[in-house]
Structure 1
Amino acid sequence: MILDWLADSYLWTKSLHVISVIAWMAGLFYLPRLFVHHTEQTTPGTEMDGVFQMMERKLLKLIMNPSMIATWLFGLALVLTPGIVDWGSVWPYTKGAGVVAMTWFHMWLAARRKDFIAGDFRLTGRTYRIMNELPTVLMILIVFSVILRF
């Protein structure tokens, strides 16, 4: 019964999954850039520090967390939809690994936000710039996995 419902709502689920992924990726690209400027242009306890913390908190709590959860929920619904995933192929596993790594990156960013709250500015703007490349690499892996189905 639930599998029939998943099959009937496949295109809706897929659409909502893509929308969720786009919102999540926007945050994953933007938050590290905020961290670069937060690190390089402010000091702990200043008014600008507070502005950056507010922006980072809202981005994480209002956009990134809900979109990550929605991405996972709609993605799991797609996985459970009959006939969508060929478990004999490699692509579901590479996509899954990419999504788990993307989730780790999200959690890493959330932990760095807590560092700023604590006044810990130990990581450099360069570190955040380098880490900002990770979601791009993971996105490429995930998209190629799903589209090319290697």
Structure 2
Amino acid sequence: MNLYDLARGLHILAVIAWMAGLLFLPRLYAYDAEQADKPEPLNTEMRTLLRLWQGRMLKIILHPAMGLSLIFGLWLIHLDVQARGAAFLAEPWMVAKLIGVVLLLGWHFYLVAERKKILAGTSVRTSKFWRMTNEVPFVLAIVMVLSVTTEWTF
């Protein structure tokens, strides 16, 4: 086994965990938003549980997986620069991948900011919003994975 294969495998595993969290957390937000229409005390009990799960999802899965995805991704870039030089960073496929990473990071931190609003009771997002945006990370993943696996150019 060489270092590149190890880095790539660890990166893929970390990204899978990060994507799982990015896809599931908006569902928890949707379920939380639906509780506003439920009678007391049912909605309070469910919201407490949902918010516990949201916090655990962020602390135990999302934040560590994001950090590991970035670390292993930077390791891959380092190994690639050593093997073929830095010019590949300007290739269209790599630019698309890096833009995707920035957008995923933006979505991640948007979800963190929105949780603070949910906890403060100031979130205006509806269940419908969360269900509609739930697939954003997957669409980005499609573009990123196909860019890296095909290394397309103009």
What TM-score does the superposition give when structure 2 sets the normalisation length? 0.86
Matched, 1:79 2:81: no
Tell me the alpha carbon deviations over residues 95-142 of structure 1, each in whole angstroms, 9 at most, x when there is no partner.
Answer: 000011001000001111111110234211111112112111101110
2:123 and 2:14 mapped to 1: Cα distance? 31
Indicate which of 39, 49, 52 corresponds to 2:33. 39
Match 1:13 to one of 7, 13, 35: 7
SS of the residue corresponding to residue 89 of structure 2 reads: coil
What corresponds to 1:5 in structure 2? none
How far the C-alpha of 1:50 sits from its partner, in A, is 1.1
Among 109, 123, 140, which residue is 2:142 paired with?
140
Match of 1:102 in 2: 104
Which of 47, 50, 53 matches 1:49? 47
CA distance in 1, matches of 2:20, 2:11: 14
What is the alpha-carbon root mean square deviation over aligned residues?
Answer: 1.8
Aligned residue in 2 for 1:65: 63
CA distance in 2 between partners of 1:123 and 1:90 (Å): 35
- 2:19 corresponds to 1:25: yes
| Aligned counterpart, 2:118 | 116
CA distance in 2, matches of 1:149, 1:60: 32
In structure 1, runs of 5+ residues without a counterpart are 1-7
Amino acid at match of 1:35: Y
Are the counterparts in 1 of residues 10 and 72 from structure 2 also a CA contact under 8 Å? yes
Give the Cα–Cα distance (whole angstroms) in 2 for the partners of residues 146 and 135 of structure 1. 16
Q: Residue in 2 aligned with 1:4? A: none
Q: Show the counterpart of 1:3.
A: none
Match of 2:127 in 1: 125
User: What runs of 5+ residues in structure 2 fail to find an aligned partner?
Assistant: none
Matches of 2:83 and 2:93, distance apart in 1? 15
What is the aligned-residue identity percentage?
36
Q: How far does residue 88 in structure 1 lie from its aligned partner after superposition?
A: 4.8
Which structure carries more helix by proportion? 2
Q: Distance in 2 between matches of 1:121 and 1:96?
A: 30
Instruction: Provide the TM-score with structure 1 as the length reference.
Output: 0.88
Q: Following the alignment from structure 2 to structure 1, what is the Cα–Cα distance between the partners of residues 97 and 3?
A: 22
> Deviation of residue 83 (structure 1)?
2.5
